[in-house]
Amino acid sequence: GLVNPYALATIRERLPAARLVVDAGIGRPSHAAAAMELGYDAVLLNTAVARSADPAKMADAFRHAIEAGRQAYCAGVVTEQQTASPSTPTLGMPFWHQDHS
């Protein structure tokens, strides 16, 4: 499962040509998306769908999450950082540099 995403990322990095499947600990669609964003090839799940109040809706939610996670991985997910950095330049923008005195 996704208890240790750093370990999963390390496995993916060390085995780039291997087909990798996360087969436990996937309880929510967001978990499946996260696994796919790490570059895994598939997730194996049953309980999260079978025990949900509406298995058909839950299966559809997982399908969308898996597709989104895979697309994000293929598009190149940006590395997370401890602090935010602006992606829009602020120098020269009148709003930021107006003298309000």
Entry pTM:
0.79
What single DSSP character describes residue 4? -
Report the SS3 class of residue 93.
coil
The secondary structure element, H or E, covering residue 43 is: strand 42-43
CB contact at 8 A, 30 and 62: no
- Separation of alpha carbons 80 and 67, rounded Å: 21
* Per-residue pLDDT at 87 exceeds 80: no
pLDDT digits (tens, 9 = 90+) for 35-60: 999 999 999 999 999 999 999 999 99
CB contact at 8 A, 20 and 38: no
User: How does residue 84 score in pLDDT terms, banded at 50, 70 and 90?
Assistant: confident
* Per-residue pLDDT at 66 exceeds 90: yes
First CA to last CA distance, the chain: 56
User: How does residue 67 score in pLDDT terms, banded at 50, 70 and 90?
Assistant: very high
- Separation of alpha carbons 34 and 32, rounded Å: 5
CB contact at 8 A, 73 and 46: no
Which ranges in 38-101 belong to alpha helices (H)?
A: 47-50, 55-75, 94-97
